A and B are shown apart, each in its own frame.
Chain A
Amino acid sequence: MSEFVIEAANVGMTLGGGAAQVRALKEVSLSLRGGELTLLMGPSGSGKTTLLSVLGCMLTPTHGTVRVGGKSTDGASPEDLAKLRRDHVGFVFQSYHLFPTLTAADNVRLALDVRGEHGAAAKVKSGDALAKVGLSHKVTAYPRELSGGEQQRVAIARAIVANPSVILADEPTAALDGENGQAIMAILAGIAKDRAHGVLVVTHDPRLLPFADRIIHIEDGNIVGEEPGGTKLQ
């Protein structure tokens, strides 16, 4: 059995204040294991992105505990949270968030640079990461010269290059056509085959269900159901 890469227990998150206060998460408990691709599904406003932010150490929960790579986020400062993200988490965003002025290789290398990895070794690693997503031939291309699918693959290379224990992907296929979406999910599923990596994909696209090892449903800030992956395929 693989170890948990993320554990959240009784996590609650209140956003805003006064009359505009919203309980975005209510007593959410969830664990992600290495070697698994988990889909987090739910309607808009159900708390998916908030949960992703909490699990990705971008927000600290109002209450409850989150452990990433075995380390608790309790009382962590913004710099401590950044270090946790640096050491344990890779992100893939819906709108890629690549740096338009950097080449594909430099975009990937950036994830190493912020970790203090520079020089030739970093260049080799970024080249390897791009090769893993099938973009060896686009190393020197700028984001504007890449298709949406290619840009998302560069973003995945950036997420995996530092070998994080968990990849968190926010609607990674939402901006892509069906074919590119499937290709991206295939890459993420391939990453999750390695027991060292857990992958959590936030989506409401049912076409991604075949790639899931586990599916978690969230509604109104609560986890309302969990099922093993593949069942919807049958």
Chain B
Amino acid sequence: MPLVLTLAIRNLFHDRLRCIATVIGIVFSIVLVTVQLGLYLGFGRMVTTMVDHASADLWIMPRGTKCFEDPSLLDARKRYRALSVDGVAEAVPVVIGFADWRMPDGATTPVFVIGSDLRSGGLHPWNLVEGGIGSLAIPNAVAVDKSYLQRLGISGMGARAEIRRRAIQVAAITNGIRSFTTTPYVFMDVDRARAYTGIAASKATYLLVRVTAKSHIEQVRRRLLSSLSDVEVLTPKEFRGRSRSFWLFGTGAGAALFAGALLGVIVGTVIVAQTLYSSTKDHLNEFATLRAIGSSSAYIHKVIVCQALLSAIIGFGFAALIGAAIAYITAATALPIVLTPGLIIGLFLLTIVMCVASAIAAIVQVTRIDPAMVFTR
């Protein structure tokens, strides 16, 4: 093992209490950043879950639509004009809206209705654990997620309730389709959705376009835009970006998450800087001896940076384990903390940068050291 590393390890572990304090500081800091950024990723995924699971090459929507949950409506007859555009294979109407769900005991709770044409795809419930898409064709049939059964006051398949005083019956049950707003999603046929949300039969929220096999999506989009007025035509990627942008930055939620992450980085940097500084101060005599026997400044900086890197690696190891546990625990909640390989690599690099930056104060102190002090101590 290189002597620089040996010296760094011995300096780091010489005072075990301070070493533990340093590691705890890094762990708390990185766990805080992990939670904030994991929430950011989780929130980003949740707000685009419908766009992710829709079968569409292009989304036609009213001009100015901000996110999937935006209740703006367009003229459903535009569907026929869209179908006449060269390259369009299908244009499926989708209707969304809030409604009141009346439980069998008379209590009500808001639900988010999603209606799509059951014959032509578009936006169907996924992860079905009971029933099937075909079951939703029967009168009054809806699909709900099993995580919301209690909230909706029902026991499961076949349960009956009311939306806008119209009877409904649970004909399919999904698993894991949770809403970040905590309002349960209720899937049904598009025509029924209009009735349950009070939307006129001539209106739709979106038209989900699938292009023909040989068509170029961008060209079809241009043709749709020139053929239809007062609409926007977005690719799923663009719509995801717009939804994320609205929920994360339009509402300030993203800024709050980033502010939390930044706070974590600052706290971590200060803690590591403080402990490295005091450790260096304790070993000042040894650093002066190193300088006296002819070591370059770079050699001493290496010892300090090695100490910082060791702290970073140990701290990150614990933080990653805690972060993984939190991600596992929150996986099934309405707002999961998502850890991706990219985020883990990024957090590791952040820990390294944070700890090395923390070493600057200690390095500045050592740079000013007078080697002649060894004669007076």
Contacts and interface: CB of A to CB of B under 8 A. Distances in A.
Interface in B267-292: 285-286, 289-292
A113 B375 contact: no
Given A99-B289, A110-B293, A53 B375 contact: yes
A114 B371 CA distance: 15
B11 A59 contact: no
A182 B294 CA distance: 28
Contacts of B292: 56, 58, 85, 91, 93, 97
A106 interface: yes
Given A110-B3, A110-B290, A101 B14 contact: yes
A113 B4 contact: yes
A99 B7 contact: yes
B294 A82 contact: yes
Nearest to B298: A79
A52 interface: yes
Given A97-B374, A113-B3, A91 B297 contact: no
A52 B375 contact: yes
B294 A102 contact: no
B258 to A, nearest CB: 41
Given A102-B10, A106-B3, A170 B372 contact: no
Contacts of A83: 294, 296
Give chain A's interface residue range (CB within 8 Å of chain B).
Answer: 35 or more
Contacts of A100: 14
Given A53-B372, A95-B377, A118-B2, A85 B294 contact: yes
Interface in B227-264: none
Given A101-B11, A102-B7, A170-B375, A114 B295 contact: yes
Contact of B293 (A49, A78, A85, A95): A85
Nearest to A115: B294
Interface in A100-121: 100-102, 106, 109-111, 113-115, 118
Nearest to B12: A101
Q: Tell me which of A82, A90, A95, A100 has the highest count of chain B C-beta atoms within 10 A of its own C-beta.
A: A82
A158 interface: yes
Nearest to B376: A49
A83 B298 CA distance: 12
A152 B299 CA distance: 24
21 contacts: A49-B376, A56-B292, A82-B295, A82-B297, A83-B294, A85-B292, A86-B293, A86-B296, A90-B293, A93-B289, A97-B289, A97-B292, A99-B286, A101-B7, A101-B10, A102-B7, A106-B3, A109-B3, A110-B293, A111-B294, A118-B3
Given A53-B375, A58-B372, A97-B285, 20 more contacts: A49-B375, A52-B375, A56-B292, A82-B291, A82-B297, A83-B296, A85-B292, A85-B294, A86-B293, A89-B294, A90-B293, A93-B375, A102-B6, A102-B7, A110-B290, A111-B294, A113-B3, A113-B299, A114-B296, A114-B299
